[in-house]
Amino acid sequence: MTAIFVCPRMLLSLLSGLIMGAAVLFVLYRWVIPTAVQYHGGLALLWHDIIVERALDTLTRTSRPQEEKQLPWQQRILKAVQRKATVGDPQSVITAIDHFCRHREWAMNVGDEKGSILDSVVSEVSPVTVLELGTYCGYSTVRIARLLPPGACVITLEFNPDYAAIARQVIKWSGLEDKVQLVEGASGDWIPWMKEHFGVQAFDLVFLDHWKERYLPDTKLLEECGLIQKGTVLLADNVICPGTPDYLEYVRNSPRYNSHYYRSHLEYTKAEDGLEKSVFLGY
């Protein structure tokens, strides 16, 4: 049997190469790529929402029974709220999520910068009835509900039951569950039943932050169902990144709407994004 002799110098060279390669990969992952994607919305979504999220979810996947499983990223957001936020204090919940998403793990909620624009619109409209399309982790729901006048409520629709499960806990932690009705299901299925199920005649404010391809058909469905009245404000997120060109063309060119674009940035980045505020002028 022939013995295999490994030269110590070759072994040291190989080990040094592996260490150097690992160091380069770490620097790319930790600093270079995140800095580069800060200024490009498409790359930011690809990097944060697909590559990094899938990697983290794979590394943190639990062995809980199927019926108890929740998406790992949601668990981490909820844990951040439970560690950092005060029960019954909505602002502390918002701050905890913002800190987590800016410094720990990116998530596609409306974010702090665009969230301030959302706050200003809610305060300006002072709505009694609000419809939110897309609950996600409950971040924007809390932002809206905390500013509502007494007796007002927000109905928020979420298609994904895993998202809804975490959002309910985030909303409850904020102490705003009495002002929020969270409904699971598709927006296209629920909108025609709003009047009958919730007794809503029309909404004062509609916040669109769900599937971007649903912005336009759901807006037209709201019109058809008479859930938009003269003075109703539609506020749409992510109209630039990932973008909603058909919706923008409709609200900007329709004589039924007076539309205004609020330029901002994709949540927790420097890539351009914005909100479109559209006031319904009547049929």
pLDDT digits (tens, 9 = 90+) for 216-234: 999 999 999 999 999 999 9
What pLDDT score was predicted for residue 164? Answer: 95
**Annotation marks residue 258 as catalytic:** no
* Cα–Cα nearest to 260, from 102, 84, 124, 107: 124
Task: Please tell me which residue in 109, 179, 204, 238 is annotated as part of the active site.
Answer: 238
Quick one: pLDDT at residue 271?
84
Q: Which of the residues 237, 273, 276, 277 is marked catalytic? A: 237
Q: Residue 149 pLDDT > 80, yes or no? A: yes
138 close to 170: Cβ distance less than 8 angstroms: yes
Whether residue 154 has pLDDT greater than 60: yes
Q: Is the pLDDT of residue 147 over 90?
A: yes
Q: Which residues of 224-235 are buried (b: 16+ CB within 10 A; e: fewer)?
A: eeebbeeebbbb
| Residue from 53, 98, 204, 209 carrying the catalytic annotation | 209
Other CB atoms within 10 Å distance of the CB of residue 168: 18
| Buried-exposed string 56-94: b where 16+ CB fall within 10 A, e elsewhere | eeeeeeeeeeeeeebbbbbebbbebbeeebeeeebebbb
In the set 212, 218, 276, 277, the catalytic residue is: 212
Whether the ω angle into residue 242 lies within 30 degrees of 0, i.e. cis, is yes
In terms of C-beta density within 10 A (0-12 exposed, 13-18 middle, 19 or more buried), how is residue 134 classed? buried
- Name, in order, each residue with C-beta under 8 angstroms of 182's C-beta and a sequence gap of 6 or more: 135, 141, 156, 158, 164, 167, 168, 171
Q: Is 237 a catalytic residue?
A: yes
**Contact by Cβ (8 Å): 152, 128:** yes
3-state SS class at 232:
strand
Q: What does the pLDDT average to over 13-32?
A: 56
pLDDT at 105: 85
- Of the candidates 31, 40, 36, which has an alpha carbon nearest to the alpha carbon of residue 271? 40
Per-residue pLDDT tens over the stretch 168-181: 999 999 999 999 99
Q: Note the residue count of the chain.
A: 283
Given its phi and psi angles, is residue 231 left (phi above 0), alpha (psi -120 to 50 degrees) or beta?
left
| 245 pLDDT above the threshold of 90 | yes
* 220 tagged catalytic: no
For residue 31, the model assigns a pLDDT of: 45
Catalytic residue among 98, 158, 204, 267: 267
Higher pLDDT, 227 or 46: 227
